[in-house]
Structure 1
């Protein structure tokens, strides 16, 4: 009996051992079968090829720079086996290097950065869609865009709606889209005359159906939704959410990864809608997003993920020499053209999206001065906060600084508006979907952001008198706003319009600075959120 007991005991222990060992071994085997991959991403680079001071991140240390981004990506690719790198559009428009080359320099530089594919944003159309098409055709990097069409012949603006990329046995189908609302809301009408933006959801469904059986994961590079705030720091102006992207992911099945741009809204943690992961950076090349995925080896379904935004600190990275060489080539050309000092500022000129700003005050006053120099007698001037793209540091101001701060090819325009339309215009501004209007001296707008949109204005006066809804006012602005840009449709009711063709806004600002020589604007309570 004792022998039988000992035998059964030994048998039980051995059985338990092999059961545990087998289970553990099976677990390890399954772990080895899982596939790890990484998607790096950017959006809204806005031609910030050089590191710069971005006060929303750091008051003292420079961040970003295309050569630093290249170096960061190469480092990740050395450490990890399967790495993809994508951009969701708006690499054009920002510093003068893009404006004065109409994007050509940016294409040349981006081609050195190692992207697997890029899509197209609204600012790729800033110099007209034909210029955009010409420049995009120069890319060696794959470009994808699926839903913009030429009205005249019904042909796609871009003939590559998607691309399929395979690395280490993982196939990604990458589709590019541009949101219809964002297309018409934020691009000046003349630049896209002759183009049609078609429903992004319809075209996504079409191309997902076309590629879903050929790929393991579907990645969408989207440029859509609400435009970004343009402020020097903080988020107190307006909260930016990726509402349109969340809606898209909910309405269109089959998107695994949605990399989005336009809102300049970073996602420290990926947003999850059904089976879709939504990611984005805070833009301007200040960060590189890093989405690490673990896939099931058989189904290629996402088992787990982590996402982070890597701030690109200039002090911590050695710039990639190949990318830097191309940047230096173009900078030399641009610096020679824009080195003239046009004025001096005694304070750093910063921006704001929801209140007046030092730079906004200066630009609005410059518009009044320039309109008067052209024989006009405006009552006041306005400019859109979203059109002011960078701060101007204290000290000498060069042509390059001005073009970087106000890079768009928008011309001076003066027209009559009724007081009724002006009140409506400022109510739209107070809604903050496109930011407040920066205004010239003498105009005061106060609003309560806690009130319902459309009834937020608590004070709107010109030279101490309320805006009279029955009176006509002469308003100086830029042709982007005059054509109803940023949702300011009230301008379309304007009369006696005078377009000073060829007189760009950055020229107007330069002329004002040359006249003033030294500026030191102050916050005067022109636009105040109560």
Structure 2
């Protein structure tokens, strides 16, 4: 009997302990902190859905009204979802034309429920006054707005040097809006510190930005130290406009993750990367969802016992035709878009839904401009449009355009089959502002020598694989290049053509009339840096004098600048009305390519060494010098080793 009672007592005790342990485990599980995050970056004013080419298929994608639907669905599951944006929320569609007065992009981010965003390089496209006006317009709207964070603006150095007018305007606007280095956001029981940073390449891509910036990594490192010292943050996230690159040694946000291991999460904008799997360095996760709101990034993180976070779920949700648009959001977008017709397009004689041409041609996708190093019909039609618009302007002075140049980085979207509207054309080249203060970069007139034109071809052939935004599409300039040849000596043939296709040889010392857009001219210096100073192009005026300010050489029509997008619109309207329905039809000429950029893939040794240029000689000389130095160093080391051995042998003999 006593034995039975003892056994029963032990069993009951074990059962009680098991129940207690289970209760403790459940309580511990309940105490585990978790956070859901939705994110975007590089939405570039794409408030509306749009038609484009995705993986070879024409699709209707994106749109803030659909993103709002997805956000609402997520917030039904978790009302404490954190919503972040990685910058470049502006410059990409017609709505940007009222950027500085309506601040539509920032206001819509607030309406969708975004908690925090940062600045991208294109937020500076309307110059200091434009950015300042936008921030103040957003604030004066009285609407809910996202916090803006950026920690590496170098106000100290600018103030020490004396703030210029543009810097003063932005400083005032930052104070009005409340731009900070970082903000604290409470989501349920999780306190998140969100820091923002502006990348080095982003600054290179912002030629009109008047601000100075500190080193991104060092600035984030210092800010994180402040957060850890002054805040009780469970998690530290970074909204970065630095980006990720294939070359990890140049991948800014990966370098940031390695240098600042206390970061838990980096929303990585700028490079338009679409990461199907998060990049992880240590305990830091880097995520990107691609551009234009085509995807909504979604992730969940769970806190470990050591206070760090694990990525427990991650996906890119397509903002596709299958997603139903939120009606109230679409009504707000439509109301904002209505301001574009009256406040901008009326001055050009257009409406945004006006059909310019009907299209049956399959144009290349935007992605192909970054991956295919060859002639592409989208670049061809834009370059041809520049020539047409200049030479058919009522203000044309009779000086023929020899070459028009369109870099891939200025092309923002493609044309799909069906009607091509004014909005479609503007969205395909939706950048910047001119000296006149009117939205849209103007075309500029410049002159290059024949020798420099050949260098233009070499820039494309040798540099653009390292800087795909510098891939060039030309009208009037044809060339052949071999990708297997030595860098800076890849072009093997280069000549000019006109509309009739007749070949004209380039004279090295002759000046040639070149037309491109203002942004391309302003970015020329950055492209030249990629050649480490070996390539040099100096835009000149008609008399051969170096151009000091490209803005002064805009193509003018009376007192108005000829905008690049308007040049394309005019060219679209110029096509024949093949089906006689009163609307132009895109020419079948663009259904194929025309030897403007020929890729010679030969690996024959004779083809690889023929026609060496001065750069070949320079590189060979540098290589020989390096070899000689290596030989001398090896020889010196051998002598030192021999002497050492000889001394050692003498020492051993004397013993």
Structure 2 match to 1:524: 594
Query: In the alignment, what sits opposite 2:428?
Result: 405
CA contact (8 A) 2:470 2:527 kept: no
C-alpha distance in 2 between matches for 1:414 and 1:347: 30
Q: Given the alignment, which residue of 179, 182, 202 partners 2:202?
A: 182
Match of 2:447 among 416, 420, 432: 416
CA contact (8 A) 1:146 1:161 kept: yes
What is the DSSP-based 3-state SS (H/G/I as helix, E as strand, rest coil) of the residue aligned with 2:43?
coil
Query: C-alpha offsets along residues 325-357 of structure 1, whole Å, 9 cap, x if unaligned?
Result: 210102333356424444443424444413332
Instruction: After superposition, give the CA deviation of every residue in 1:199-245 in whole Å (9 maximum; x if it has no partner).
Output: 11222122212212412211111112479xxxxxxxxxx99998221
In the alignment, which residue of structure 1 is the partner of 2:339?
333
Distance in 2 (CA, whole Å) between partners of 1:398 and 1:334 is 14
* 1:203 counterpart (212, 219, 242): 219
For residue 493 of structure 1, the aligned residue among 538, 546, 553 is: 538
Question: CA shift at 1:27, angstroms?
Answer: 3.1
**Aligned match of 2:516 in 456, 460, 477?**
477
Please tell me whether residue 510 in structure 1 is matched to residue 569 in structure 2. yes
Q: 2:295 aligns with which of 287, 294, 310?
A: 287
Matches within 5 A, 1:140-151: 140-149=145-154, 151=158
Which of 70, 80, 83 is equivalent to 1:82? 80
Aligned partners of 1:444, 1:136: CA distance in 2, in Å?
46
Residue 436 (str. 1) matches residue 455 (str. 2): no
Q: TM-score, normalised by structure 2?
A: 0.71
SS at match of 1:378: coil
Aligned partner of residue 147 in structure 2, secondary structure: coil
* Structure 2 SS opposite 1:307: strand
1:161-195 deviation line (CA, Å, top 9, x unaligned): 211111222111111111122212x22x3x22x32
CA distance in 2 between counterparts of 1:439 and 1:240 reads: 32
For residue 294 of structure 1, give the secondary structure of its aligned residue in structure 2.
Answer: strand
Q: Would you say the 8 A contact 2:478–2:595 is kept in 1?
A: no
**Which residue is 2:71 aligned to?**
73
Could you tell me which of 300, 312, 319 is aligned with 2:325?
A: 319
C-alpha change, 1:145 and 1:303, in structure 2 (3 Å) is closer
In structure 1, the partner of 2:237 is 219
Ranked by relative contact order (alpha carbons within 8 Å, sequence separation 6 or more), the top structure is: 1
Which whole-Å CA distance do the structure 2 matches of 1:240 and 1:314 have between them? 35
* Post-superposition offset of 1:251: 1.7
Q: Is the 8 A contact 1:212 1:218 kept in 2?
A: no
User: Partners in 2 of 1:80 and 1:58 — Cα distance?
Assistant: 36
8 A Cα contact 1:412 1:477, kept in partner: yes
Query: Is the alpha carbon distance of 1:56 and 1:200 closer, same or farther for their aligned partners in structure 2, counting shifts above 3 Å?
Result: same
2:286 maps to which of 275, 278, 289: 278
Distance in 1 between residues matched to 2:303 and 2:465, nearest whole Å: 46
Give the Å deviation of 1:44. Answer: 0.6
User: Quick one: distance in 2 between partners of 1:183 and 1:302?
Assistant: 31
CA distance in 1, matches of 2:119, 2:271: 14
Give the whole-Å Cα distance in 1 for the aligned partners of 2:249 and 2:597. 24
How far residue 20 of structure 1 moved from its aligned partner, in angstroms, is 5.1
Matches within 5 A, 1:223-262: 223-225=241-243, 243-262=251-270
Q: 112-121 vs 49-58, which deviates more? A: 49-58
DSSP-derived class of the 2:413 partner: coil
How many residues matched? 511
Residue 48 of structure 1, CA deviation: 1.4
Task: Tell me how far 1:121 sits from its aligned partner.
Answer: 0.7
| Aligned equivalents of 2:17, 2:108: Cα separation in 1 | 58
Q: Which moved more, 1:51-60 or 1:64-73?
A: 51-60
Contact kept, 8 Å, 2:110 with 2:146, in 1: the verdict is yes
| Alpha-carbon offset, residue 160 of structure 1 | 1.6
Give the drift of 1:92.
0.7
Deviation of 1:294 (Å): 1.0
SS at structure 1 position matched to 2:212: strand
Scaled by the length of structure 1, the TM-score of the pair is: 0.86
Structure 1 stretch displaced more, 135-144 or 81-90: 135-144
Report the equivalent of 2:61: 63
Say which one has the larger Rg: 2
Q: Which residue of 1 aligns with 2:112?
A: 113
Offset at residue 386 of structure 1 (A): 1.6
- In structure 1, list runs of 5 or more residues that go unmatched: 228-237
Give the Cα separation in 2 of the matches to 1:459 and 1:20.
Answer: 82
Measured in 2, the distance between the counterparts of 1:441 and 1:346 equals 25
The answer for the alignment partner of 2:606 in structure 1 is none
Partner of 1:345: 359
CA distance in 2, matches of 1:241, 1:396: 44
Does the residue aligned with 1:416 lie in a helix, a strand or coil? strand
Structure 1 stretch displaced more, 58-67 or 81-90: 58-67
Q: Which residue of 2 aligns with 1:364?
A: 383
Q: Hey, what's the Cα distance between the residues in 2 that align with 1:319 and 1:226?
A: 31
Report the Cα distance in structure 2 between the residues aligned to 1:453 and 1:286, rounded to whole angstroms. 36
SS in 2 for 1:203: helix
Structure 1 contact 241–265 (Cα < 8 Å) conserved: no
Bigger shift: residues 452-461 or 519-528: 452-461
1:228-266 Cα offsets, whole Å, 9 max, x none, are xxxxxxxxxx99998221111112242111101011112
**Which blocks of at least 5 consecutive residues in structure 2 are unaligned?**
140-144, 346-350, 432-439, 498-502, 529-534, 542-546, 548-552, 577-584, 602-655
